[in-house]
Structure 1
């Protein structure tokens, strides 16, 4: 399995920003830059020959440098201000690219090209001071990390080598780390995470993880560089300690503590409801801003620690928890982590029926007054309410008509199995076509060569289209000519249906879906709606190695949106058998989403150069 690991090859840098350019040893001399010009326009304001030579070397003309110095005025002008002024002037000039100029300048200061490009992309090429400060802060952070590494290595050398590298018991490793000075709770948590791939990590690997986490908490960004591609083995072995992305921890208590679900569950706002938020409660980290956009969904009521882990692997962004009962007649509590804007959202038309009675008007005739339900519960992946259950309800009501206890029991059963009234004393489970309507899919979206059982399963694992479309609606003005989508584990195409209903043309959809049933359904939707774009399908996520991702992005010019959602079976509250969290065979697909997203964003950053 291929993952990303942070590696920095740049050397330490410790400069004062005011002296950085002057101390640069430039051998460049432009014969066209006369001594008279230097003395007249430069020397009297405290700018050295070497500094001017360096600006010339970067592509700026002597005339442009003179204008910039004259515009700034005063003696001893700050070199960063001069460079920013030159960049501003050069934007309208064909002689030089401001972006490459900034990169060349910072590389000339001694920073690595990869690190310079990262910070230029995050802060913007015009913010030279901020970029430089971030680079210098990183240099100091690296010094601190190396000092800690030296202390740890000294400590390791004094311990028993067999315990250090080959400890077969967690207690032994924990005891070793405690002796080295690591807090018990921090060491224990690190061991648990490092062992989550199925193999016991060595003490050295656990220490690497702890240091990476500490650095990420202290500094709000870090550079992620792809490792050399490795052969893929077992799909169930999802991660190892060295695969942990060295990303920023969120600036929020959410990652230190357990995520708490909001009440009401309206996320950053829902249509026609009070409490609309105009900004995120926690800002998106700089490293996760901007396109390509990403959007990940999973069940809200997950086991303890699941959403904390998901957030940590998606740049520390806080989940947006939304119950689809605010969009349709059925509850569907989901969490969404994304870097989309949240301003100017709008709901798709026509709006969904908002209550059970509006969704199923033929049931009104038989709906008893003592059944006060207006919303259905979450729609599951199996047929709810067997014939035995519905028969018992009918017989109990016929035998005990008017009995309050029987009525209460019946309502509880109806609520549990999402049963609706179809006759006197008669209830029935929802049909697939009715679930399609509640979830916002076209009528008969899952029909055609698909069994009832498969239709229930596919619908139960799908998006609620109206909810997702509300979040994606902000993309419509951003991509008026069409959008290129990488769709991971979205089943029957909930994301694609949402974009289609929003009227956003899909120029390209690269879909990864292992279920043949789901692939057939998406392909049928693509044909029935006469899409003009390209639909390219992959069966297994393991086909999307780093090389394939880069090939696809080179072929199609990159992706605008990476949308995904892993099956909720292993974390659903209704599952009492294999509810084991992200370690489950299905839900562990999240780590593949995280891996692919990282590859896409890194490749996109290089393509923007």
Structure 2
């Protein structure tokens, strides 16, 4: 009924098996059509001798193109876009570059304006935005219906025609234009003072914020290539289980956030400052489809100031050092001891009576290097145990690396602040009263499982994807030491999460209630990517692939 030939159908059934899901068979045939079309165009310019040589590698070439095409289709791109990208750049180009080229084309074709975010927010440091939701309608699953994004016609695809809808997880998503907020209309043409989120902004009512926003509040612009949902107003077809949560705890550009949002159903990120939950001041960004109502804080709360977290330092803390939170981890220890010795000597020589210029200079170094007062006229770095307390982890959580303080600090720096994360995940407690099964992608040192445990949510089963043996060891030790009764499955490579593997895990654990991904570490860094430094989208694309497969599989089972 989809106008595929008998040979195409038999070829797909032979390769994937008679019990393969319909959507995977369609993806496979689409990939074969695109690869074959590209192969024919390439062969057109070959001589007879070249044709003979080319024939020897035809199968390898065909399947190589099909593999990349399938990956791109699973990311949510249409056959039209995939075909044009492969035709333009060739099948030898890495998947990440092909995806980037398609996304860049979407930005060029759909970009209309920028929508501005501020870090000021309501109760919990959340961003609120006034925009319409994306309308998402389920497909007609009757025998006579053919999904638009899967109605393949490679002849038309190569003519550059673009479909009216893009597909995510088998649901077509309309892409209407953005409307300007009233603030943007009033302040059209004005540029923000700085291009990053204010780390010190307070909570503001969104209605007051939109009309009476303080121009001194630091803002940044986030480009919008399409209309998006805010996390507070997710469409019902997206806001359904299995729920997902993408979190980022390192600096990421607005362009990167726009791209992340594009691949996660157009949902706008929430930004929150951890200073409202802990003694750490850091912006974390989240994209998720969880409900935003009925959130609550983890109890007991973590210390909110340095002095509360490290009470033994109060007696040494000078009055002119007014810091309440630490702003960064300071895992780089090289040269810090000499700096501490030099600054300590200045304070000791003056018996603590410093000139305004000396106070200002020392305060600047303390803030930049995240130094704390560890003795009379003595400065030092916060130790891993201090940071475990500030981030809401059990004491000695990273003790497996006890002899490598620098490495422990680095792993902690790349981890969720569990009180902040817990506020956003707290809604799961009433939604899953009997506990939940979770797929955790790039788990790190287990911030998500620690958070759910602190919330009192039973972990019936956890599949953790993490490449680092040290992080896996930390999570495994925590799991055993806390007496978890659920099942922990450790997987070291996300590429091993094939459709078959996911089906087996779903059969084994009874499905997934929650999928979470944490972007936090050097594993997400792409040093060779000069377009988007500091973020490797190839790993993010793998998360998108896994997420969509899980949601599709769970949808079929329900």
Same fold (TM over 0.5): yes
Moved more, 552-561 or 494-503: 552-561
Q: Is the 8 A contact 1:581 1:587 kept in 2?
A: no
Alignment-derived partner of residue 601 in structure 1: 551
Q: Given the alignment, which residue of 296, 299, 320 partners 1:346?
A: 296
Asked if 1:367 corresponds to 2:288, the answer is no
User: 2:517 maps to what in 1?
Assistant: 564
- Match 1:458 to one of 406, 411, 415: 411
Deviation at residue 448 of structure 1 after TM alignment: 3.0
2:282 corresponds in structure 1 to 332
Q: Secondary structure at the match of 2:286?
A: strand
Aligned length: 405
Superimposed CA distance per residue, residues 181-204 of structure 1 (whole angstroms, 9 cap, x where no aligned partner): xxxxxx99x999x9884657999x
Q: Is structure 2 residue 441 aligned with structure 1 residue 488? A: yes
* Displacement of 1:599: 0.6
Distance across 2 between alignment mates of 1:459 and 1:510: 21
Moved more, 218-227 or 466-475: 218-227
Which residue, out of 405, 414, 427, partners 2:379? 427
Q: CA deviation at 1:299?
A: 3.4
- Using the TM superposition, give the Cα deviation of residue 398 of structure 1 relative to its aligned residue in structure 2, in angstroms: 3.4
Quote how far apart the aligned CAs of 1:381 are: 4.5
Is it true that 1:529 corresponds to 2:482 in the alignment? yes
Contact 1:342-1:474 within 8 A present in 2 as well = yes
* Change beyond 3 A, Cα 1:275–1:585: closer
For residues 445-470 of structure 1, what are the alpha-carbon distances to aligned partners after superposition, in whole Å with 9 as ceiling and x for unaligned? 11135422321121111111001111
Separation in 2, partners of 1:323, 1:604: 34
- 1:325–1:313 CA distance, 2 compared to 1 (3 A): same
- What SS class does the counterpart of residue 464 from structure 2 fall into? strand
In the TM superposition, what whole-angstrom CA distance separates every residue of 1:431-489 from its partner, at most 9, and x where no partner exists? Answer: 00000001000111111354223211211111110011111111111111110000111
Mapped partners of 2:509, 2:395: distance in 1: 32
Q: Residue 207 of structure 1: CA displacement?
A: 12
Given candidates 394, 413, 434, the residue that maps to 1:442 is 394
User: In the aligned structure 2, how far is the partner of 1:540 from the partner of 1:317?
Assistant: 27
- Pick closer, same or farther for the CA change 1:191–1:354 going to 2, 3 Å: farther
Structure 1 residue 553: Cα displacement: 1.1
Partners of 2:134 and 2:175 within 8 A in 1: no
Give the structure-2-normalised TM-score: 0.62
User: Matches of residues 505-516 of structure 1 in structure 2 within 5 Å?
Assistant: 505-516=458-469
CA contact (8 A) 1:298 1:568 kept: no
Shift of 1:547: 1.5
Match of residue 471, structure 2, among 508, 512, 518: 518
Show the counterpart of 1:394: 344
Q: Distance in 2 between matches of 1:339 and 1:265?
A: 27
- Tell me the SS of whatever aligns to 1:306: helix
What is the match of residue 549 of structure 1? 502
Asked whether the equivalents of residues 490 and 564 of structure 1 are also in contact (C-alpha less than 8 Å), the reply is yes
Distance 1:201 1:456, change over 3 A: closer
> Using the alignment, how far apart are the partners of 1:207 and 1:471 within structure 2?
32
Relative to 1, partners in 2 of residues 1:367 and 1:540: Cα closer, same or farther, differing over 3 Å?
same
The offset of 1:246, in angstroms, is 3.3
Cα distance, 1:293 vs structure 2: 0.5
State whether structure 2 residue 278 is matched by structure 1 residue 357.
no
RMSD: 4.6
Matches within 5 A, 1:395-410: 395-399=345-349, 401-410=353-362
SS across alignment from 1:448? helix
- Is the CA contact 1:570–1:587 (under 8 Å) kept in the aligned structure 2? no
Moved more, 544-553 or 580-589: 580-589
Which position in structure 2 is the counterpart of 1:101?
none
User: Which deviates the most, 410-419 or 450-459?
Assistant: 450-459
Give the conservation status (yes or no) of the 8 Å contact 1:191–1:201.
no
Greater radius of gyration (CA): 1
User: 1:51 matched to which residue of 2?
Assistant: none
- 1:476 equivalent to 2:426? Answer no
> Aligned runs of 1:307-322 on 2, under 5 Å?
307-322=257-272
Provide, for residues 116-148 of structure 1, a one-character-per-residue CA deviation record: whole Å limited to 9, x for no partner: xxxxxxxxxxxxxxxxxxxxxxxxxxxxxxxxx
Q: Secondary structure at the match of 1:283?
A: coil
Matches of 1:493 and 1:416 in 2, distance apart?
A: 28
Q: 1:402 to 1:201 in 2, by over 3 A?
A: closer
Shift in Å, 1:564: 1.1
CA distance in 1, matches of 2:179, 2:249: 17
CA distance in structure 1 between the aligned counterparts of 2:529 and 2:338, rounded to whole angstroms? 27
Answer yes or no: is the 8 Å Cα contact 2:445–2:475 preserved in 1.
yes
Deviation sequence 1:9-63 (CA, Å, 0-9, x none): 499xxxxxxxxxxxxxxxxxxxxxxxxxxxxxxxxxxxxxxxxxxxxxxxxxxxx
In the other structure, the counterpart of 2:223 is none
Q: Structure 1 residues 199 and 535 mapped into 2: Cα distance closer, same or farther (>3 Å)?
A: closer
Counterpart position of 1:174: none
Partners of 1:249 and 1:545 lie apart in 2 by 29
The equivalences for 1:170-181 within 5 A come to none
Classify 1:348/1:252 alpha carbon distance in 2 versus 1 (closer, same or farther; 3 Å): farther
Residue 167 of structure 2 aligns to a residue whose secondary structure is coil
> How far apart, in 1, do the equivalents of 2:457 and 2:534 lie?
35
- Equivalence map 1:254-265=2 (5 Å): none
